[in-house]
Structure 1
Amino acid sequence: MSRIGKRPIALPAKVEVQIEGQQISVKGPKGELSRSLPPLIAVHQEAQTLKVSRVNESRPARQLHGLCRTLVANMVDGVSRGFERRLELVGVGYRASTQGNKLILNVGYSHPVEIPFPPGIQIAVEGNNVIVVSGIDKELVGNTAARIRAVRPPEPYKGKGIRYVGEQVRRKAGKSGKAKK
C-alpha cells in the first residue's frame, strides 16, 4: 500500500469537490481546477475528506496511487491557499518589469526578453530584482517559474543569473594565474 496514497485529504471549509467518473473538479475561494484521473484510480468523498484508492493491485495502479493523491491534494491546496514561487535576479543591471500581460527581463542580452504569462498565472515584480509567480495550479506555477529561470540560469563563476529565492549556487574557482618566478 502506498504510504502517501492511503492518507486522506482534508477538505477545508469553502472547498467543494465534484466527482464525475474519472473527472474531479475542485472549487474554492481562489478559483476552480479540474483534472481527469486514470481509470486505475478511484476517488471517494467521505464528509470533509477525500480518499484516493486504486481499483486493483496491478503494478501501474500502485505506481499511480501516490501520484494521483498528491495531484488531488495540490488541487485542494491551490483553490484554498494558492501557490507561489519567488525568483531573484542577480547581476549588475539585471532587472525585471511587467507590461500588460508580459514579463520583460533585462538580463545582459542585447535585447530585452519578453515572456507572456499563461492564463491563470499572476506575476508581480518587487523592487527591480524579485519576481513573484503565483496561481492556483502548482504545476503551472512551477513550469512558469522554470521557464523564467531558463532565460538566464545562474552561472557558477560569478553567480549571475535568475535563481529561486534561497537557491544555493555551487561556485567554481576561476582560472588560477600563472605562478611568478
Structure 2
Amino acid sequence: MSRVAKKPIALPKGVDINVANDTITAKGPKGTLSVAKPAGIELKVDGGNAVFSTESAEQIALTGTLRAILANMVKGVSEGFERKLELVGVGYRAAMQGKDLNLSLGYSHPILFKAPEGITIATPTQTEVVVSGADKQRVGEVAAKIRGFRPPEPYKGKGVKYAGEVIIRKEAKKA
C-alpha cells in the first residue's frame, strides 16, 4: 500500500487549492496551475493541509501520483522551479534578444529559441542559461529542449549540459 498518498501536503501562506468540475486548481503568488482529478479520489483541504483519500485499492497508486503532482504544483505557485544549463566549448555563447534566447553553438547559424508562455529564460553570463517557471514539468521540458540543440559529447565534453551534470568521458582512439 502506498504511503505517499497518505502524507498531507502543507500549504504555505498565499496558496489556495480549489476542487471544481473534476479539476484541482492551485493558485499562488507565482501563478495558477491545474490538474484533472480522476473519479474515486477525494481531496480534503482543512487548515493548512491537503489530504487525499480513496476507497478503492486499485486507486492507491494513482492517488500517490496525484499527491506528488499536487505537491509540485503547490511548490511551483509559491516558490517556483528553475533549471540551470551550462555551455561548454570555445565560442559557445547564449544571449537574450528580448524574450528570445539566442544560442551560438558552433553551427553555421545562430539558434533562436522562443520562450513558451509561463517560462522565463535568463542568461546571467554568456555561458549560463537559467530556465524558471511555476510548472515543474514545463521547466524541465524547456531545459531539455535547449540541451537537445547540442548535447554534451563524450570525448571533449563540449555542448549544453545541466549544471552539476557529470559527463562520462571516453578515451580517444589509439593509432
Report TM bin, short chain: over 0.9
Segments of 5+ residues of structure 1 without an aligned counterpart are none
Measured on the aligned residues, the alpha-carbon RMSD in Å equals 1.1
Query: Residue 123 of structure 2 aligns to a residue in which SS?
Result: strand
For 1:108 and 1:84, the matched residues in 2 are separated by 26
> Residues 96-115 of structure 1 correspond to what in structure 2 (within 5 A)?
96-115=94-113
Query: Residue 72 of structure 2 aligns to a residue in which SS?
Result: helix
Shift of 1:21: 4.1
Aligned to 1:69: 67
Aligned to 1:168: 166
Segments of 5+ residues of structure 2 without an aligned counterpart are none
- Give the TM-score taking structure 1 as reference length: 0.93
Aligned to 1:53: 53
Aligned to 1:87: 85
Aligned to 1:120: 118
Query: Residue 110 of structure 1 aligns to a residue in which SS?
Result: coil
For 1:138 and 1:163, the matched residues in 2 are separated by 18
Percent identity over paired residues: 50
Aligned to 2:151: 153
Query: Residue 25 of structure 2 aligns to a residue in which SS?
Result: strand
Q: Is the 8 A contact 1:41 1:68 kept in 2?
A: no
Letter in 2 for 1:20: A
Query: Residue 33 of structure 1 aligns to a residue in which SS?
Result: strand
- 1:4 maps to 2:4: yes
Deviates more, 1:22-31 or 1:68-77: 22-31
For 2:65 and 2:146, the matched residues in 1 are separated by 26
For 2:151 and 2:41, the matched residues in 1 are separated by 38
Letter in 2 for 1:122: T
For 2:92 and 2:152, the matched residues in 1 are separated by 12
- 1:144 maps to 2:167: no
Q: Is the 8 A contact 1:30 1:136 kept in 2?
A: yes
Query: What per-residue deviation string (whole Å, max 9, x for no partner) do you get for residues 36-63 of structure 1?
Result: 12224221112110012234112xx233
Larger radius of gyration: 1
Query: What per-residue deviation string (whole Å, max 9, x for no partner) do you get for residues 110-137 of structure 1?
Result: 1111111110000000110000000001
Paired residues in the alignment total 175
Shift of 1:77: 0.2
Which consecutive aligned stretches of 4+ in structure 1 deviate over 3 angstroms post-superposition? none
Query: Residue 147 of structure 2 aligns to a residue in which SS?
Result: helix
- Give the TM-score taking structure 2 as reference length: 0.96
